Amino acid sequence: MERASKLEGIVFVNPNFARLYFVPSIAFHCEFDEYNEFPSSNLQLMTHKGIDYHDKWMKTMIQPTSCFVSMHCCNVTEIIDRYCIRCPHLSRISFHYYYLDDEVFNFIAQHLPRLVSINLENSIGLNGKLIAKLGTMSRLLHLNLSGCDINERTLHCILDNCTILESLNVSNNCLITGHCLRHSTVKNLKRLNLQDCWRLTPERLIEMVQSGLPNLIEILCNSGINDQSLNTITSKCPNLNHLDISFEEFTYYDESGLNCLSDVGFSSIARLIHLRILSLRHVGRMSDNSLNEILSSCTELMQIVLNLRHRHKLTDARALRNIGASCQYLVYFEAVHNHFIARNSIEHLSSLISSLQILILRGDEFIRDDEAALLLKKCQNLRLINLDGCMDIGENTLASCIVHARRLLRMEDENAIKIFQASLVMTSIERTLLNSFVNEFPINLRIRACDYRRNKVHFNEFDGNEIVECQLKEKFFPFYWHDFN
């Protein structure tokens, strides 16, 4: 592989497993298949594509100082030995689903001392002895140990050895109790993911932030969240700009997030005046007053996710009444299966004339066709709308989608076409209807629809039982649909 030795940096990406928590995977693609342990075909693929992709790569935003390698179920030491050590600027490396042993860590510590980010997501075998070797990496800032089955002792060793960490992801590690989160290294963290650490208690969260975490700008958690712990977090972490409280991995009727917060806890979020991203999933029970207090105070919000389903006390008349006046920079709004979203809420969202670009209202069945059409006319920069399952959506909305896409084309600059995407699955719009408009579609319009009345089978999301279509609205079951056309 002569080409590799000539490159200042090289990026290996397995596209099926390239989603990272800390660092987005980008550009130069070479596929290491998960089951064939670095076959010769990949060598040929890489050699063949090397020249074309290298030229494209160097013309993009990627710099030689931010090269990235992602590997899944392949021969790690062979790849590191043969290629990674030839990349003097390699700064990010990612493993998925590995058994970590001394050999791998010895390679990393010896040949890749400049690493800035290591992702060991869902790998096993991690222990204090291996973690101690990371202490020699003076530039390590980002560490992802999600699903690595680490315990409190291993976490303490991490905090002892990796003292300049800025980002730490220890989500989905059920043995972590949080006792060592008072460690001095935690005070340096900017990003912390504690989701699905189910032994974490409110007391441990309070102890973690009690002395103040002014550097923390992002926290994701669920276990241990109640009114008291959230109130302490918002008081002691004044610079938070990303707060995520999510219980959405549970079943529809699970009550884990149902009663953990009241208006006292929700209202405390209003202290975070620098908040830009707020994600609340399956958390109850938020009221109009607390939501409006948040919207009025957190005026820098750019992304709001309110996937509350039936776990709220919000009303269509008052819930979003301040969103247009207060959230002038809001780009992304998502509210899935929230049955309070109706005429008034759509009208309030329509006031985000210039900022709103992504709107996801899947399963909000009280949205009417003419209301959605009017929103599309007002929100000039909308790039994606998802109205799946909004049964009344029909020809008015479809016509507005076509007009909106044409308007975006007229706003074009020389650099790119502004694509407009509309997902209208399980609405009154069927694929057969689209055929009559196909000649009217502008080149930047992407529409997703289905033939609603033909060849459709619905299944309950959790028990797998088939559901009669007429019962869907009555039971409010989340469901999968399979289109056999």
Instruction: Kindly report, residue by residue over 82-136, the tens digit of the pLDDT.
Output: 656 666 677 888 777 777 777 778 878 777 788 888 888 888 888 778 887 787 7
- pLDDT value at position 377? 96
Reply yes or no on whether the pLDDT at 21 is more than 90: no
Mean pLDDT computed over 275-296? 93
Which carries the bigger pLDDT value, residue 470 or residue 402? 402
Tell me if residue 111 falls in helix, strand or coil.
helix
DSSP state of 259: S
**Residue 283: band (very low, low, confident or very high) from pLDDT cuts 50, 70, 90:** confident
Which carries the bigger pLDDT value, residue 69 or residue 189? 189
Specify whether the CB–CB gap between 416 and 444 falls below 8 A: no
Which carries the bigger pLDDT value, residue 277 or residue 449? 277
**Residue 346: band (very low, low, confident or very high) from pLDDT cuts 50, 70, 90:** very high
399 CB-contact burial (10 Å; exposed 0-12 / middle 13-18 / buried 19+):
middle
- pLDDT value at position 61? 27
Pairing of strands 466-467, 479-483: unpaired
**Residue 26: band (very low, low, confident or very high) from pLDDT cuts 50, 70, 90:** very low
- pLDDT value at position 460? 58
CA pair distance 266, 245, nearest whole angstrom? 11
> In 10 A of CB 471, how many CB atoms?
11
CA pair distance 201, 229, nearest whole angstrom? 9
pLDDT in tens, 70-91: 555 445 556 666 656 666 677 8
> To the nearest 10°, the Cα dihedral for 451, 453, 456, 461?
100
Reply yes or no on whether the pLDDT at 242 is more than 70: yes
Reply yes or no on whether the pLDDT at 268 is more than 90: yes
Mean pLDDT computed over 365-390? 95
Mean pLDDT computed over 179-207? 92
Mean pLDDT computed over 354-365? 94
Tell me if residue 153 falls in helix, strand or coil.
helix
pLDDT in tens, 378-424: 999 999 999 998 989 999 999 999 999 999 988 866 567 889 999 99
Which carries the bigger pLDDT value, residue 172 or residue 440? 172
How many residues are listed for the chain in this entry?
Answer: 485
Instruction: Work out the mean pLDDT of the chain and round it to a whole number.
Output: 77
Type of residue numbered 85: I
- pLDDT value at position 54? 33
Residues of the chain with pLDDT > 70, as a percent, come to 72
Which carries the bigger pLDDT value, residue 277 or residue 53? 277
**Residue 452: band (very low, low, confident or very high) from pLDDT cuts 50, 70, 90:** low
Taking every pair of Cα atoms in the chain, the longest distance, rounded to a whole number of angstroms, is 66
For residue 467, what are the contacts with CB-CB under 8 A and spacing of at least 6?
A: 458, 459, 460, 475, 477, 479
> Does an H or E element contain 79, and which?
helix 76-82
Q: Of 180-194, 364-378, 415-429, where does mean pLDDT reach its minimum?
A: 415-429
Reply yes or no on whether the pLDDT at 317 is more than 80: yes
Beta strands in 194-257 (DSSP E): 218-221, 242-246
**Residue 258: band (very low, low, confident or very high) from pLDDT cuts 50, 70, 90:** confident
For residue 470, what are the contacts with CB-CB under 8 A and spacing of at least 6?
A: none
Mean pLDDT computed over 428-449? 84
Mean pLDDT computed over 323-342? 93
Most confidently modeled range among 17-21, 148-152, 214-218, 283-287? 214-218
